[in-house]
Amino acid sequence: MRALAELLLDMGACVQGSDRERSPSTDRLAQLGARIFIGQRAENVDGAAAVIRTAAVSDQNPEIVAARRLGLPVVERGQAWGLLMGRYRSAVCIAGTHGKTSTTSMVATLTQNAGLDPTVMVGGELSTIGGGTLRIGGRDLFIAEACEYKNSYHSFCPTAAVILNIDRDHLDFFSGMDDIIASFRHFASLVPPDGVIIVNRDDPNALRAVEGLDRRIVTYGLQPGAGVSAQNVVCDKGFYRFDVTVSGKVWCRARLSVPGEHNLSNALAAAACAVYLGVSPQDFAAGIAAYRGVGRRFESKGEYRGALLFDDYAHHPSEIEATLKAARAMEPRRIICVFQPHTYSRTISLRSEFARALSHADLCVITDIYASREVNTAGINGHYLADLIPGSVCVAGFDEARRFIMDNAREGDIIFSMGAGDVWRVWDGFPASQPV
């Protein structure tokens, strides 16, 4: 939403909006000229010509109720992005249950490095576009993160649709895996006849989503048979070097500055995008090496008593497992994970999967559940998950979690705050060295 507001401000629109609390994002928008309200109230829509909302905002929100009473158009965020995206010659839209932000950020970084001038919309803070979630470039190329929640990306206009993976998530909206796959299939079908679908050959659900579509399909993956693949792979304490092959021929030698096999897979998706966009192998290799991560994705928060501190957005079991495995490859003494479950529905529907994923940490600290858009009709809390994880600790709040880290950190540990809510506040005022 912040990126959308920034782009509209740059186009000369008058923008006003609200959030539940003040943050660096609301401060930035205010500095750019937006009128910001803290708290959502009916009177906030006074003077507006239209209201744009994220899919997470319900029809019962007082601003939505007021907008409809006043006869104002209510537009979902994905629809607004789609209207703007259609003005660009090419639009690379990157979707998937996991890895959207990282892969979008990789493509943004490498295209800039190659001398292109992309407009970029991404769901995390990216230093290579100025530390925000939006880069305003030319009208030739739009690079966008595409979210499946409530089918938001169905309003997009991709000339290249990327599907990284498809997993069970957002079960407060989707009825099950078949429904999720159908959603991604519709997204892929939005590609025009002269466009391309880029899909992860290692993911059976992603392949199901594109099966039989009458479009050019390019596959990538770590398993044999992919159109874009990796060979001669070397892993050095979680960081990968590899040959990128295209149609069986070596295209370039690449190295990653971010850890984890999941990022190796993301980099192959980025390579497939680079080939589609005509980026040279040399520019790809330089650009992918220059990518050093995005905010809240294995983000360094410094060091404390010889322990390395990180913050990560992982909030689905598959993401948690991938991040913790990447950390394990760095050969730490221990991994300590402060995890904040995100939404009651996800915690309930994936409870066992969460417990298995979090078992990859040596010590797990569970905070209370971040409600986001939901109401706690089930009456659950952090203990609902902690009870399934032997040796875990459940804390009442971030102050208690902060004290636990300070009391237990040892040299050689890797310590995470993890989750899609506000668990990053654990590091507020924490006596750590500056991030490396």
Strands (E), 31-170: 35-38, 51-53, 74-76, 90-95, 119-126, 132-135, 141-145, 160-163
CATH 3.90.190.20 intervals, the chain = 299-427
Each residue of 243-302: pLDDT tens digit? 999 999 999 999 999 999 999 999 999 999 999 999 999 999 999 999 999 999 999 999
> For residues 354 and 317, is the Cβ–Cβ distance under 8 A?
yes
Sign of CA dihedral 219, 168, 20, 102: negative
Please state, in angstroms and rounded to a whole number, the distance separating the CA atoms of residues 339 and 393: 10
Residue carrying the six token digits 């290579």 = 128
CATH 3.40.1190.10 intervals, the chain = 80-290
Q: What percent of the chain has pLDDT over 70?
A: 100
Each residue of 21-72: pLDDT tens digit? 999 899 999 999 999 999 999 999 999 999 999 988 999 999 999 999 999 9
Q: Tell me the pLDDT band of 132, cut-offs 50, 70 and 90.
A: confident
Please state, in angstroms and rounded to a whole number, the distance separating the CA atoms of residues 84 and 6: 13
Each residue of 136-179: pLDDT tens digit? 999 999 999 999 999 999 999 999 999 999 999 999 999 999 99
Query: Which CATH superfamily groups domain 2-72?
Result: NAD(P)-binding Rossmann-like Domain (3.40.50.720)
Tell me what pLDDT residue 52 has. Answer: 98
CATH 3.40.50.720 intervals, the chain = 2-72
CATH code that applies to domain 299-427: 3.90.190.20
Q: CATH for 80-290, among 3.90.550.10, 3.20.10.10, 3.40.1190.10, 1.10.101.10?
A: 3.40.1190.10
Tell me what pLDDT residue 12 has. Answer: 94
